[in-house]
Amino acid sequence: MRIVSVVVALLSLGAVGCNAPTNTSGAAEPVARAPSQPPASQPYGTLAQMMRGIPFPNSNIIFDAQAQDPGAPKPPPQKAGAGAGATAAYASVYSGWPMVENSAVALSETANLIMIPGRLCENGKPVPVEREDFKKFAEGLAEAGRVALKAAQSKNQDAVIEAGGVVADACAACHEVYRDKERNEDRCIP
């Protein structure tokens, strides 16, 4: 065990030494560092991929909280079998009301993500971020997330039932105009 500690310490010192600024003049002068800049906002997936990955599973957590009280005592967790994976192993880390709160925040954050210019719909058409109705729908999603967050923070299942309706309405408003088309190539076109 002592050998492992020594190795970790040496590796840490080596990493610090490799990343330290070099001053070869011998004088004690500060080395200027470039200011760090946040990454540029850019889309990494299509609108469909982003919607399936973030608001779809998170809205379903809010909908589930309408029928199953997130504050109810949970049965003891079952030990995940060998090879069950991270999803099974960490399924209960953020459970109950905190999970509903996190899902509500994810819905509000999704409103920011769908407004990033340059994102494409699954059919290759640009997401209509400049259209006033689309902006209104994005704000509706952000508001639905805020309502759901307030409901989850109150730990009141009746409030979550009402918030679930707000979430469903926000999703339906946009889907009726932009997603629910007979042909996939007509999506993202009002």
pLDDT on residue 94? 73
pLDDT on residue 27? 52
Q: Is 151 exposed, middle or buried (0-12, 13-18, 19+ CB in 10 A)?
A: buried
pLDDT on residue 39? 81
pLDDT on residue 34? 66
For 67-116, write each residue's pLDDT tens digit.
999 988 877 766 666 667 776 666 667 789 999 999 999 999 999 999 99
Task: Parse the chain into domains and list their residue ranges.
Answer: 47-186
Judge whether 85 and 100 are in contact, CB under 8 Å: no
pLDDT on residue 74? 78
Q: Write b or e for each residue in 109-137: b if 16 or more Cβ atoms lie within 10 A of its Cβ, otherwise e.
A: ebbebbbeeebbbbbeeebbeeeeebeeb
**Full-model pTM:** 0.74
pLDDT on residue 65? 95
Along the chain (190 residues), what's the average pLDDT of each consecutive run of 10 residues?
Answer: 44 46 52 73 95 97 94 74 66 83 98 97 96 98 98 96 97 96 90
Gap between the Cα atoms of 89 and 78, Å rounded: 10
